[in-house]
Chain A
Amino acid sequence: MSEWRNAPGYVSESDAFGELTVTVEPGLVHDAAQYARDEMGFNLLSDIVATDYLNWGTVGVSGYIGTGSGRDINFPMTQGLQSLPQLKPKRFSVSYHLLALRQPPARVRLQTWVDDGEAVPSVIRVWPGADFYEREQFDMMGIRFDGHPYLKRLLMEDDWDGHPLRKDYPIGGEPVRFSEAE
């Protein structure tokens, strides 16, 4: 049985909440995906999701944080900055949730980190189902997927400005017709 360590572009792996996350280099996502499908048996791509970590960790999280083993009722709720979240290597993460249809089944999260404007190779040739997923993440987060044959907006209009799920995209920022603010 192959191991994730031999995957192309392997950076690290971590286990949290019972889920395995394998981080790979952004440039080698396609090769890592090929490896995951052919060597590790992850034949079904469940989902692709990008997350914007802009200002992650600069905004302090105050107050009480629960844990699995129980909650300390005597601990005050708000007492300023209690913990800073773990810093992230780059602004965006792109996660591929993979599923191995076999017995016993397995799941893994293949993750890569990119900065604004940096492109990720498309995995459409590994899993054709990645088509809509990559288009959605391009539309919502502005992640470019190199090698996607038809990378255009999916949910928003073709001439839409900006990428709505980014953290610097304002709520209520779009002009509303027939309102005072037009």
Chain B
Amino acid sequence: MTAIAPRTHAWPVVGPSIYEGSRIPQPIPTVLQVPEELRESDDIMQINFGPNHPSTHGVLRLIIDLNGEQVEGLEAVIGYLHTGFEKSMEQKTWWKGVTFSPRIDYVGYQSNELVYVLAVEKLLGMDVPEKAVWMRMLLSELNRIHSHLVFLGTSALELGAISMFWYCFRERDMILDLSEMVTGQRMHTRYFQIGGLAEDIPEGFYDECRKFVEWMPQALSDYLDLLDRNEIWLERTKGVGLLSADDAIALSQSGPNLRASGVDWDLRRDMPYLAYDQVDFQVPVYAEGDVYARYRVRVDEMRESTRIVDQCLRRLERMRGRPWISDDRKVVLPPREELHTSMESLIHHFKLVTEGFRVPEGEIYLCIESPRGEQGCYIVSQGGSKPWRIHFRAPSFAALEATPTCARGSLVADLIAIVGSLDAVMGDVDR
């Protein structure tokens, strides 16, 4: 196994800037205002894009000012999916919070689960068995592929490539089947526990997952065959929705959107967590900063994720019979079978379920590379059995901030490509 080649340059921006200066709207960075000379004009028509238009990926409402087909003004109105996750999690004990977090970003659910679990474990100062670490990595990468497939399928569908949707959802279904096999759930698995995994990996999983790893590279080249030489797709995506590296950094972008703007930055490689420093993978970077680059970054990432899944699988196959969850009885539920024979286990089980465990006082911010970018979790603990404050740094929330910058001077039809390419999941935006 080769180590990842360290990045040689200190400053991670690759390639020249794609446009001069900054395109971020002034004075409000997230609101594109109609130019002064056009404000009184009768040609400006204000329309609502969303909140229930299928191409807005949920319930995003954009108020756009059109001059013919030209987008002159744009403002995002969000909050339609605001469900108060942060407030709700404050009312629940620590272990119940695991159920909430995957529902925030409902497409990249496994990453949300992971970031919460890792943050609580860091506060507890807890060690996790190696098998759990590698399985968490494997499932996170499967989930990354899942999320990118949903992105690719839906955004291609919106631009008229309807068949892409069916191909992507075919492979997505394979991932959901794998997920069901391991966790019992197709989505929102609650498989990661504080301390490890909920259950051991079922024996049949290794073979089924191996089949998927062997299948996926061919599927990815099929996608490229369908899209990458498709004249309509190229016309609709190349040079559309530009975002330069400097603007992307200024607008707090992260993940694939940042890498598509030529910033060579990936938390998995640059600030490794789990065991990402022990696997071999490349970080795809494209300098064009357009919709096409954002699509290519994600397709290339699926290929790299498949490689990581393969490496995790090789490791996990050698870990059969090893523990999958920590044996810390003050935090982790005792094994079910012990409840019938051991009074001590019964007491622990009762106390953990009714009162919950306690987490030392402190505040931490922990972040991981989710399919959409930097997924952060900020936790304040008072030392009690419930969190004092929980906040999620949502990458989609940041991605949405870039919409007016990308949409500057574009046509209304391109707006659909732009919104799709930034890949904001509204559950993640509104929380």
Contacts and interface: CB of A to CB of B under 8 A. Distances in A.
Contacts of A1: none
A66 B252 contact: no
Interface residues of A, number: 60
A73 interface: yes
Contacts of A30: none
B58 interface: no
Nearest to B246: A43
A86 B123 contact: no
Interface stretch (B83-91, B148-156, B284-292): B83-91
A65 B382 CA distance: 11
B249 interface: yes
A71 B12 contact: no
Nearest to B265: A101
A165 B87 contact: yes
A19 B365 contact: yes
A97 B361 contact: no
A66 B358 contact: yes
A117 interface: no
A119 interface: no
Interface in B385-426: 385, 388-389, 391, 393, 397-398, 400-401
Contacts of B351: 77
Contact of B252 (A44, A140, A169): A44
Interface string B260-298: 000101000011000000000000000000000000000
A44 B250 CA distance: 6
A89 interface: no
Interface stretch (B27-35, B98-106, B129-137, B233-241): B27-35
B330 A97 contact: no
Given A102-B10, A129-B251, A155-B82, A17 B359 contact: no
Given A16-B362, A131-B29, A56 B388 contact: yes
A12 interface: no
Given A83-B383, A85-B383, A155-B79, A105 B270 contact: yes
B162 interface: no
B323 interface: no
A77 B359 CA distance: 13
Most A C-beta atoms less than 10 A away, residue of B12, B271, B362, B383: B383
Contacts of B124: 66, 68
B357 interface: yes
Interface stretch (B167-175, B301-309, B373-381): B373-381
Most B C-beta atoms less than 10 A away, residue of A44, A133, A140, A156: A44
Nearest to A63: B358
Interface string A54-91: 00100101011111110101000110000101100000
Contacts of A17: 122-123, 362, 364
Contacts of A86: 361
Given A77-B351, A129-B250, A164-B84, A101 B12 contact: yes
Contact of B382 (A56, A140, A150, A164): A56
A163 to B, nearest CB: 11
B201 to A, nearest CB: 27
Contacts of A102: 10-12
Nearest to A109: B365
A154 B78 contact: yes
Nearest to A43: B249
A162 B365 CA distance: 27
Contacts of A103: 7, 9-10, 12, 270
A156 B383 contact: no
A149 to B, nearest CB: 5
A124 interface: yes
B364 A128 contact: no
A31 interface: no
Ordered nearest first, which 6 A-B pairs have the shortest CB separation? A68-B125, A129-B252, A128-B29, A155-B79, A47-B393, A61-B383
Interface of B: 7, 9-12, 24, 27-31, 78-79, 82, 84, 86-87, 91, 122-125, 249-254, 263, 265, 270-271, 328-331, 351, 355, 357-365, 367, 374, 376, 378, 380, 382-385, 388-389, 391, 393, 397-398, 400-401, 430-431
16 contacts: A46-B374, A46-B393, A47-B365, A47-B378, A56-B388, A61-B361, A66-B331, A66-B359, A68-B124, A95-B378, A103-B9, A128-B24, A129-B29, A140-B86, A155-B78, A171-B91
Given A47-B376, A102-B10, 4 more contacts: A46-B252, A132-B400, A150-B28, A155-B79
